Chain A
Amino acid sequence: MSGERLLRWLGPVAAGLVILLLWHLIVVLNEIPHYILPSPLLVLRTLVEDWALLWRALLITLQVTGIALLLAVLLGSAISFLFVQSRAIEASLFPYAVVLQVTPIVAIAPLIIIWVREPLPALVICATVAAIFPVISSTTIGLRSVDPGLLDLFRLYGASRWQTLVRLRIPSAAPYFFAGLRIAAALALIGAVVAEFVAGTGGTRSGLAYQILMAGLQLNIPRLFAALLLITAAGIALFLLVSALSWLALRKWHESELAREK
């Protein structure tokens, strides 16, 4: 058991180190200039040197991501509950949820910027639109995937609609909801970055997209990579956080989070 756990940690770490070493060697041996491809060491050093700047930008991007994810969860779940109330509602509205999903955010962002005057809410709306679909889709499927036997049991005992929802439908939907949340978390982060590119906010209230754009234009490629590294790290942290939430909620009963002894 403990050997297996060790492998689960050591494997990815070792693979990562080998790739970093290769990257470093390729850059150093070929004398690739830092404005084409910086070495991992230089990226790390830039990250430390520009920490104050990048950290502030990251916090703003994370702020947009966090609010957008929260909104996506609240609105997305509410919409799913609405959908499962009747097949007619779902049939009428679900296609539009799909429309929301497949519309490039770049195309509708200008409209959002015209209607919403403050930059922060505009960015949040863009990121929410990007993140909401997986929540709606998974939660709706979850709310529908109730064991028919259990549903009959609830009916047999005369459970109210409310009791069925809280005691049966929501617990059955939870695993699906958390699966959707993992995707939504990543999309909210990407949405927040893309929205900032589109909305063109700058100055002191600017997030990582602005830093990436400016670093690219000025050929400060090490800083660009450092900013990318921060976004990636934030994405992984977000994923771990959501996974932890999922584990906390499901560990007691659901197959996907149960530790099985072999």
Chain B
Amino acid sequence: MKRLLAGIALFIAAFAPGAHALDKVVFLTNWYAQAEHGGFYQAVAEGIYEKHGLDVTVRMGGPQVNVLQLLLAERADFVMGYDIQVLQAVEQKLPVVTVGAVFQSDPVVLIAHPDVQKIEDLKTRTLLIGQASETTFWPWLKARFGFSDRQKRPYAFSVQQFLVDRKVAQQGYATSEPYIIEKAGIAPKVFLLAEYGYPPYAQTIVTLEKTVKQRPDLVRRFYRATAEGWKSYLANPAPGNALIKRDNPEMPDDAIAYGVATMKRYGLVDGGDAKTLGILAMTDARWKQTFDFMVGAGMLESGTAWRKAYTLEFVRQVKVLP
């Protein structure tokens, strides 16, 4: 009898959630490992996920990797998303939902040669704009500053053209292109679009509706551990960087350091609403702004159930102040 009881106890212990069993979670990023993913790697390196009962695998995205598709195919539990993409997915009635935003502002920038004083002056320059940006910030730039399609030429994600042509300005990410240009010997003017009111969050955490409904506790733990990971990463990025280098060995240390410094300078992770609502914060007001901009630019049907694109449930429940 005693042995039977012991057996039952063992059986329960083995299958009960909590104490020993870690929940397996796959998180898929949007690009090869870089500083912009630091908090997730940090939470793995420092055992923060484990502390919250999670066994997290961080998988890298890449140039053609469609993260929402892989999320919907349940090849990942959480993916790194972007407001505009998620709103368009919701318009198509896809069951995806944003639970938190790592970047309080989009790091997208316009980069110009040193003689340019104001962003408005770029009206007379040739702008290198990537194809994907046609459905993100380019419509916003046209509406906000009166830029036109005539001055736009395709951007092939190489700064070579910018370096040889002094009349050219280009798009970029605050964390990467300006540094590469600086290293090539030009001190560029950098305009962060978010500072001029470009509304979307970036590097968001997106999951399936059913995960939020059926496993809110899992989402909450992932949210909290990730927020703690980011806080830890900004304080001392070394452990996270070691994992970034393991996944993406060609990423130079100085480029990672520049990424971290830029995130701090613009307060991408710990600025904005994160200061009061905690890391990963989002608000209804910001989502409304992004929705309004997209409808105004003809990128979204006005009848879209935009509130389904996100939930503030976890923002309200968990508060990890920077």
Q: Which of A113, A202, A215 has the most C-beta atoms of chain B within 10 angstroms of its own C-beta?
A: A202
- Kindly identify, within residues 94 to 126 of chain A, every residue whose CB is under 8 Å from any CB belonging to chain B: 106, 109-110, 113-114, 117
Q: In the assembled complex, which residues on chain B have CB atoms less than 8 Å from the CB atom of A204?
A: 246, 249
- Pick the residue among B61, B247, B252 that contacts A218 (CB under 8 A): B252
Known: A202-B33, A202-B247. A197 touches B64 (CB 8 A): yes
Q: How far is the CB of A126 from chain B (nearest CB, A)?
A: 11
Contacts A36-B160, A219-B158, A219-B160 given; indicate if A201 touches B66 (C-beta within 8 A). no
Closest to B73 in A: A114
Q: Which of A33, A110, A117, A203 sits near B249, CB closer than 8 Å? A: A203
If A202-B33, A202-B60, A203-B247 touch, whether A35 touches B66 (CB-CB below 8 Å) is no
Min CB gap A61→B, angstroms: 15
B157 interface residue (CB < 8 Å to A): yes
Closest to A195 in B: B64
Contact count band on A: 20 to 34
Number of interface residues of B (CB under 8 A): 31
Q: A217 to B33, alpha carbons, bound, how many Å?
A: 13
The answer to whether B18 has its CB under 8 Å from any CB of chain A is no
Also in contact, A219 and B250, with CB within 8 A (given A197-B64, A200-B62) = no
Provide the B92-131 mask, 1 if CB < 8 A to any CB of A, else 0. 0000000000000000000000000000000000000000
Beta-carbon contact of B183 and A203 below 8 Å: no
> Closest chain A residue to B252 by CB distance?
A218
Q: Which residues of B contact A113 (CB under 8 A)?
A: 65, 70, 75
Query: Is A199 close to B, CB under 8 A?
Result: yes
Given A110-B69, A202-B247, A204-B249, A36-B163 contact (CB < 8 Å): yes
Per the 8 Å Cβ criterion, residues 182-238 of A in contact with B are 197-204, 210-211, 213-219, 221
Q: How far is the CB of A54 from chain B (nearest CB, A)?
A: 11
Which B160-209 residues have a C-beta within 8 angstroms of A?
Answer: 160, 163-164, 176, 180, 183-184
User: Is B45 engaged at the interface, CB distance under 8 Å to the other chain?
Assistant: no
Across the interface, do A216 and B157 meet the contact criterion of CB distance under 8 Å? yes
> In the complex, which residues 12-46 of chain A have their Cβ closer than 8 Å to any Cβ of chain B?
33, 35-36
**A36 CA to B252 CA in the complex, in Å?**
20
The winner among A33, A203, A210, A213 for most chain B CB atoms within 10 A is A203
Determine whether B32 belongs to the interface, using a CB cutoff of 8 Å to chain A.
yes
Q: Which residues of B contact A35 (CB under 8 A)?
A: 160, 163, 184
* B246 neighbours in A (Cβ, 8 Å): 203-204
Pick the residue among B61, B163, B164 that contacts A200 (CB under 8 A): B61
Docked CA distance A199–B62 (Å)? 7
0/1 string, B226-261, CB within 8 A of A gives 1: 000000000000000000001111111001000000
B184 and A219 contacting across the interface, CB-CB below 8 Å: yes
Could you tell me the distance in whole angstroms from the C-beta of A160 to the nearest C-beta in chain B? Answer: 50
Q: Does B303 contact A (CB under 8 A)?
A: no
Q: From A221, which residue of chain B is reached at the shortest CB distance?
A: B160
A33-B163, A202-B32, A219-B183 given as contacts; is B64 within 8 A of A114 (CB)? no
B64 touches A219 (CB 8 A): no
Q: Which residues of A contact B65 (CB under 8 A)?
A: 110, 113, 198-200
Closest A residue, CB atoms, query B158: A216
Residues in A with CB closer than 8 Å to B250 are 210-211, 214-215, 218
- Evaluate contact between B70 and A203: CB separation under 8 angstroms: no
Q: Does B299 contact A (CB under 8 A)?
A: no
**Complex CA–CA separation, A33 to B75 (angstroms):** 44
Checking A203, A213, A215 against B63 with a beta-carbon cut-off of 8 angstroms, the contacting residue is A213
- Of A33, A36, A106, A203, the residue contacting B248 (CB under 8 A) is A203
Please name the residue on chain A nearest to B180 by beta carbon. Answer: A219
Find out whether the CB atom of B62 lies under 8 angstroms from the CB atom of A201: yes
**Chain B residues within an 8 Å CB radius of A110:** 64-66, 69-70
Q: Tell whether B22 is near chain A: CB-to-CB under 8 Å.
A: no
- Bound CA span A204–B243, Å: 12
Given A110-B69, A202-B32, output 7 extra A-B contacts at Cβ < 8 Å: A36-B164, A114-B69, A198-B65, A202-B60, A216-B158, A217-B176, A219-B158
Q: Which residues of A contact B (CB under 8 A)?
A: 33, 35-36, 106, 109-110, 113-114, 117, 197-204, 210-211, 213-219, 221
Between-chain CB contacts (< 8 Å), 9 pairs: A35-B184, A106-B64, A113-B75, A198-B63, A200-B61, A204-B246, A204-B249, A214-B248, A218-B252
Q: Closest 9 interchain pairs by CB? A: A200-B62, A214-B250, A200-B65, A198-B64, A114-B73, A203-B247, A202-B32, A219-B180, A202-B60
Q: Which residues of B pack against A, CB within 8 Å?
A: 32-33, 60-66, 69-70, 73, 75, 157-160, 163-164, 176, 180, 183-184, 246-252, 255
